[in-house]
Each structure stands twice: as C-alpha cells, then as structure tokens.
C-alpha cells in the first residue's frame, strides 16, 4: 500500500483526504499545525459549480439546506450612489444537481473533517525537515520521523514546508490591499452584491438561510514592512475603524451592524515554483494564491487536489500541469476584476459601467469569462 503525507488540513488538504478515502491502494496521514478546528467561525465562502460538482461527489449535497445558500445573481452596484448597474445570472452555469453555493467556511471545514478517521490526522504537527531522496521522510520537532511515497503540500499561503523542498524563494507578495471581514445580520436578499467604490470594493452574500451574511471589503492601502509585520495593528479598534470609515457608505448597508470585524493584508503569488520534484505536489494556496476578487481560491484548491489524485493514479503529471494553465487564467481574471472594481476616475467609472451592462448579458462573453472556469 502506498503512503501519502498531506501537510495542512485546510480546504485543499481535507478535500484531498476525502477523495483518498475511497482509494483502497493508498493510505494517508494529515499533518495539521493547529491543535483543532474552530467550527463556530462565522465568515463565509463562495463556491462555484466547478467545485460544487466535486464536493457533491463526496456527499456535500446532503448538508442541511438551512446551512447553505444558493444565490442566483451577482449584483453590481456603484457604492457612492447605491445605484445598481447590472447583474449576472449565476443560474445559467448551474445544472440540476450543482448550484453556485455560499456558506460559512467553518461549515465547509466541518463537512470535510467529519469523514477523516481520527488516527489519520495529527494535530499540533511541527515539521522541522523533509527529506526527499529515496522516498519522502517527514521529521517532526519531537524527533519522530515517518516515511511516505507521495507528499501533498497544502499548508496555505505562507507554506513553510514548501521551502524544505523547493530551493527558490517564492514567497507571496503584499498586493497593496487590506481585507476587512465581518458578519451582517438582517435582510440583504438572497444574492451576492458587489459594491464598487473608489480604490475599494465590498461584497455581501448570505451564508445560510438564517439572515446571516458575510461582508468582505478589499481596500487599497500602502503599508510599510514594519506595519505588515505588526499583527496587533490589524486587530486594533483604531485600524479597523479607519478601514470601515474609508468605505463609501450606501443607503442599503449599515456598517454599524457589522460584527466580528477582522482585517488582514492581502498577499498574492506572482510565480509558480519549479514543479519537477518526483511524487511531490503543491495544492491550494501553497501552489498559488489569487487576489480574492474572483472568489475562486477555494474552488481552485479543490480542483487542484482532484487533479493531483488523477495524476497519481495515472502515473502522469498531465492533469496537474493542465491545472496550472487554468490557474494562470483565473489569476489574470482575478487581477482584471480587481482593477475594474476599484476605478475612481468618473470617466473610467462611466465607461466601466456601460461595458459591464453590455457584457453581463452577453452570452458569448459570459461563457468565455466565467463558463470556462465554472464548467471545467
């Protein structure tokens, strides 16, 4: 039986473990740094049909419908005057079984975690070295070492373990934006709304059927390297307050009702590492971290994990290599979304709004821009 080590029990690592559960030729172990999961956390996540299809294969459709939401539209709104510009119908990418879904990130993690046998996940893992000559050896701080045939590195954006394997420094870079996340309660409808402002945008969507909504704003902000290292800054009431007040107010959203506010700097990848290590795969944000303006990070993480298993089963890296091409395309689209959501010059805004009105109803464009990603 071949042994697979999965480093990181986040969305990508746990999904990979779930699909391995039905592969009798493999056994696996997850090494997770945290000592447990916080299944109470209230922030949201959007999942497009490309990942929903894969999740439904492992039973996601059996989640109680009260814990998920199925938005049918994305509304584009100009934040400074609260005017809706247009919307995109998301249902055109759905099929009978698979629908665009929003939910709490913790609901997704809980679902993915429930099928992992206790002995297959090692919490509080502190990996100090990985050797990959003649097999793969993981060495932990307590001096235990274990041998594996395959290694899947899924320890997120600041992956430390990939530095044990890959020589180049491929650290993600601060993309000059800060994310502000929070929870809203009330009635903001069943759809996703994107409010586009000057040098910022924010998104609101339901995370269940109980009138709970995710709020996430992406705000342009130059920060010094000292400020970026200062974790207390991002938690301070003063900083959170200043981010909140920098957003353009609308009559539809009351920022005073925001709770569980958190901020963090947005880091993104600029390059892929040289992926030529035998039997070693990177997945999720450890492979590539996108700007969050296409809501594709988790969906791509799930797809990559799926392609890694196909590559292992077929003893060929074809699927994995192809995924990398897709990731580059999603990255370009994420950057373009970000640019157009943040325009500030009134003439550019006017032109953007008119183009958006046209494109949002243009089937050929939508098929190329979204369909190619959502229907992979």
Residues that bind ligand FAD (CB under 6 A): 7-13, 31-34, 45-46, 125, 127, 154-156, 160-161, 179, 216, 266, 284-286, 292, 295-299, 301
- Which is it for strands 212-220 and 173-185: parallel, antiparallel or unpaired? antiparallel
Q: What is the dihedral of CA 360, 43, 108, 212, to 10 degrees?
A: -80
Residue nearest to ligand FAD (CB): 10
Taking the complex as a whole, the smallest distance from the CB of residue 227 to ligand FAD amounts, in Å, to 18
Residue placing its CB nearer to ligand FAD in the complex, 158 or 358 = 158
Taking the complex as a whole, the smallest distance from the CB of residue 248 to ligand FAD amounts, in Å, to 19
User: How far is residue 376's CA from residue 53's CA, in Å, rounded to a whole number?
Assistant: 10
User: How far is residue 364's CA from residue 333's CA, in Å, rounded to a whole number?
Assistant: 16
Taking the complex as a whole, the smallest distance from the CB of residue 109 to ligand FAD amounts, in Å, to 8
- Which is it for strands 73-78 and 192-196: parallel, antiparallel or unpaired? parallel
Residue placing its CB nearer to ligand FAD in the complex, 105 or 352 = 105
DSSP result, 345-364: SHHHHHHHHHHHHHHTT-HH
Taking the complex as a whole, the smallest distance from the CB of residue 203 to ligand FAD amounts, in Å, to 8
The residue with tokens 């949201």 is: 44
Residue placing its CB nearer to ligand FAD in the complex, 13 or 182 = 13
Residue placing its CB nearer to ligand FAD in the complex, 82 or 140 = 140
Residue placing its CB nearer to ligand FAD in the complex, 295 or 349 = 295
Taking the complex as a whole, the smallest distance from the CB of residue 100 to ligand FAD amounts, in Å, to 11
Residue placing its CB nearer to ligand FAD in the complex, 330 or 343 = 330
Residue placing its CB nearer to ligand FAD in the complex, 58 or 357 = 58
DSSP result, 51-112: HHHHHHTTTGGGS-GGGEE---EEEEEETTTTEEEEEEEGGGG--SS---EEEEHHHHHHHH
Nearest CA to 285 out of 158, 165, 107 is that of 158
CB within 8 Å of 96: residues ≥ 6 apart: none
Taking the complex as a whole, the smallest distance from the CB of residue 30 to ligand FAD amounts, in Å, to 8
Taking the complex as a whole, the smallest distance from the CB of residue 44 to ligand FAD amounts, in Å, to 7
Token pair for residue 201?
């945008």
User: How far is residue 104's CA from residue 44's CA, in Å, rounded to a whole number?
Assistant: 4
Taking the complex as a whole, the smallest distance from the CB of residue 297 to ligand FAD amounts, in Å, to 2
User: How far is residue 71's CA from residue 311's CA, in Å, rounded to a whole number?
Assistant: 33
**Angle at the Cα of 292 (from 288 to 297), degrees rounded to 5?**
45
Residue placing its CB nearer to ligand FAD in the complex, 264 or 358 = 264
């Amino acid at each position: 039986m071949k042994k697979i080590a999965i480093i990181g029990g986040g969305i990508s690592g746990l999904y990979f473990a779930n699909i391995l559960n039905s592969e009798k030729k493999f056994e696996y172990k997850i090494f997770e740094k945290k000592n447990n999961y916080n299944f109470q956390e209230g922030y949201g996540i959007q999942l497009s049909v490309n990942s929903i299809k894969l999740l439904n294969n492992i039973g996601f459709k059996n989640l109680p419908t009260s814990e998920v939401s199925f938005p049918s539209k994305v509304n584009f709104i100009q934040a400074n005057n609260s005017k809706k510009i247009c919307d995109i119908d998301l249902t055109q990418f759905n099929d009978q079984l698979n629908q665009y879904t929003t939910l709490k990130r913790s609901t997704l993690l809980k679902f993915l975690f429930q099928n992992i046998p206790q002995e297959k996940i090692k919490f509080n893992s502190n990996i100090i070295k990985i050797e990959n000559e003649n097999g793969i050896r993981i060495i932990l701080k307590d001096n235990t070492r274990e041998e594996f045939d395959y290694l899947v590195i899924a320890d997120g954006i600041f992956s430390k373990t990939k530095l044990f394997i890959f020589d180049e420094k491929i650290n993600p870079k601060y993309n000059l934006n800060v994310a502000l996340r929070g929870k809203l309660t009330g009635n903001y409808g069943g759809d996703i709304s994107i409010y586009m402002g000057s040098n910022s945008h924010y998104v609101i969507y339901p995370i269940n059927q109980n009138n709970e909504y995710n709020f996430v704003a992406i705000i342009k902000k130059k920060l010094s390297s000292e400020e970026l290292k200062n974790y207390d800054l991002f938690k301070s009431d003063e900083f959170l307050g200043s981010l909140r007040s920098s957003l353009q107010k609308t009559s539809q959203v009351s920022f005073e009702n925001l709770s569980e506010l958190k901020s963090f700097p947005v880091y993104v990848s600029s390059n892929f590492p040289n992926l030529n290590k035998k039997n070693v795969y990177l997945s999720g944000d450890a492979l590539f971290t996108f700007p969050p303006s296409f809501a594709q990070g988790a969906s791509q993480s799930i797809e990559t994990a799926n392609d890694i298993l196909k590559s292992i089963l077929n003893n060929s890296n074809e699927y994995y290599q192809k995924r990398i091409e897709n990731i580059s395309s999603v990255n370009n689209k994420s950057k373009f979304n970000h640019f157009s959501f943040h325009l500030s010059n009134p003439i550019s805004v006017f032109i953007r709004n008119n183009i958006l009105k046209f494109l949002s109803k243009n089937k050929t464009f939508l098929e190329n821009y979204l369909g190619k990603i959502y229907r992979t």
